[in-house]
Structure 1
């Protein structure tokens, strides 16, 4: 009897931190600036030409001629220039279909430096040490990177795993490379684990209906009751961040209006951005580990269908009708943004599919006001952010408010109120 499961094609990204030499850093910067310039030239060409001459072939010919005439653009590999063209046309297609706004000019000060490598055949990834690997970047050469995940090194022509492309990205911590990996793995067997409802909150990041709440050990608020915007930093890093912010404010007070920031001020901004990036990386790492654990432990994960942009809308109001408790609402919005609920749901969507499970969504209204024991919706039962006390005389159940909401989420799913399956990334496809 053949028990081998059917193979499925899985695509994912793996981001690794590069360790380039100073000369290689300059080459990366030149390529990134050239890619941004190609985008801006292409945008100007598109907006000035008549509609009947805006074709992909004409844009491709214009880019080829520009790379021949301008030496600065020649440092960008031809494949990377073609990738800029494809991304630009995809941006317009997303605009026409209502998924995004119209493409615009990329200013140097507000644009992330990046270079796309659309084909992975020339990367030639090789592991040289337990912690280090080497990748061949076009027009740069061999660059070391931190080896934190096993990557395919073959061509993948026989159905094996392969690297289909990569993208070079620069952030506050330096240059990184994001590999696009395609693998063929056995189709996941149906998950036989239990069902669970999850409520995303502030005091408890992820409250589970069975009581196995997921904490990250970072208090959401300071002793004075204000939101802790730097909870992912340790006390020494918080003190350093406070000192840098004060230095930036002091140096900014001496800058004349309309003049560029000094080198010292820019250096201070870079140090602040580095600490912020480190905090974001720690938060993302916790999310990945937690969602992987949940996807492996439960067959069906039920969450609320939250409208996060509406939840984080400002309460400032207008001049005629000013809002109330604006400062408190601002702190709540900041806490919600720090927890990144949308990113957590996205991770759970594709990880449950990888493990043979499923993610389901239920309507969000009244899940935190309804008692999970008697089902009554009584005014005043939600006494605070942490305590739920049912006002029904026949029940009088008291418990954690987030735990109560998680149980209600699971009850809604079992009662048949699940919405259309969550639309996540197409990460598992039949080969």
Structure 2
């Protein structure tokens, strides 16, 4: 089995290397914006858009001193490595493809300081010396990095990125691994706020609430930033402090999610999760001036708590980690999972009169509401699994998100 995996490390560049990396990321951002402007102008004039080959030809002219769509000249682009510049054109092509496939909005111009990065796609130009914790990149030379773990496999490409003043390197590798044999049984998972993830075996993961724990410090840092003169040195230092807090929140949340998903994927071969639409669940209730919303303050707090959990990232990590372990991830419809009695099958909103307690009004069965939800998710997943097998259809592999109403049809 062919496995592609990325290994991310913190870089320890010299001052000159940091200046060069800022220049290279700025050049990639500049090329992306100029190519986007060129495509928009061609569309406005009725011409067809250029493909990747046409944009690369235009890039060659820009590097040789030809005028840009904005009317400027940029011969300094020749100082940056050409492959990362071409990769920014590929990123633009991918953004257009996602837009036409209705997976994303129309491509927007990139801003300085946001997602600064550049990518080296040719492994022949890259060198990795793990013994000395260093790597070689064109026009940057040898760079030191914090070698926290071994890089496994053959290097395919390297991406250099900047976040909160710190530079990182992501090394994507490819290697052959033996076909894994899944370990463990099937499990259902109910996502929540009071309990982050409740399993159908009654175990659960407590919520981390990373944003909530750092909210007071973030508020003070943002208030201090608002009092500074924009673009002054004090303003830059205050902004860096806000960025560090945001980075801390994200790092803590990702670390927690990685540990939880790794444990689940290693101990269970088949995992059923609710097919939650996080965007719809966290939609604002403020309404409009003519039709103002109700309980806006409470809904705002609920939205903040939902987004603080990282449900989508949890499912994404489970997705590929189960595939690495040979397991399966199946998403089932979440309708009535917390209102259905697992004992007699009675469905009623009165079964869950409180947030935490479930009591069936038909048979009197009592249990924690999140545990009941996880049990119903497990049963719904097994019903879908049985229907697909009986129809000579294999269950969806990890990475396939199923959200139709097949479970309801099976029960009928």
Q: Considering the TM-score relative to the shorter chain, is it more than 0.5?
A: yes
Contact map agreement 1:350 1:425 (CA 8 A) in 2: no
Contact map agreement 1:205 1:339 (CA 8 A) in 2: yes
Q: Residue 422 of structure 1: CA displacement?
A: 6.4
SS of the residue corresponding to residue 121 of structure 1 reads helix
Q: Residue 380 of structure 1: CA displacement?
A: 2.7
Using the size of structure 1 for normalisation, the TM-score is: 0.83
Higher helix share: 2
- After superposition, residues 9-408 of structure 1 pair within 5 angstroms as 9-49=2-42, 51-52=47-48, 54-69=50-65, 70-108=74-112, 111-128=114-131, 133-152=133-152, 161-172=153-164, 174-189=166-181, 191-215=182-206, 218=208, 220=209, 229-231=211-213, 233=214, 240-251=217-228, 255=229, 260-392=230-362, 394-395=363-364, 397-408=365-376
Query: Using the alignment, how far apart are the partners of 2:40 and 2:285 within structure 1?
Result: 38
The structure-2 alpha-carbon separation of the partners of 1:79 and 1:373, relative to structure 1 and needing over 3 Å to count, comes to same
Q: Residue 329 of structure 1: CA displacement?
A: 0.9
Aligned length: 383
Q: More relative contact order in 1 or in 2 (CA 8 Å, sep 6+)? A: 1
Query: Using the alignment, how far apart are the partners of 2:400 and 2:140 within structure 1?
Result: 33
The structure-2 alpha-carbon separation of the partners of 1:425 and 1:176, relative to structure 1 and needing over 3 Å to count, comes to farther
SS of the residue corresponding to residue 112 of structure 1 reads coil
Query: Using the alignment, how far apart are the partners of 1:203 and 1:12 within structure 2?
Result: 33
Q: Please provide the CA RMSD for this pair.
A: 2.3
Using the size of structure 2 for normalisation, the TM-score is: 0.86
Gaps of 5+ in 2: 66-73, 389-394, 402-412
SS of the residue corresponding to residue 18 of structure 1 reads strand
Deviations 1:199-232 (A, max 9, x none): 111111110000221235x3x5xxxxxxx8333x
SS of the residue corresponding to residue 183 of structure 1 reads strand
Gaps of 5+ in 1: 1-7, 153-160, 221-227, 427-431
Which segments of structure 1 move beyond 4 Å, counting only runs of 4 or more?
417-420
The structure-2 alpha-carbon separation of the partners of 1:389 and 1:125, relative to structure 1 and needing over 3 Å to count, comes to same
Query: Using the alignment, how far apart are the partners of 1:72 and 1:367 within structure 2?
Result: 60
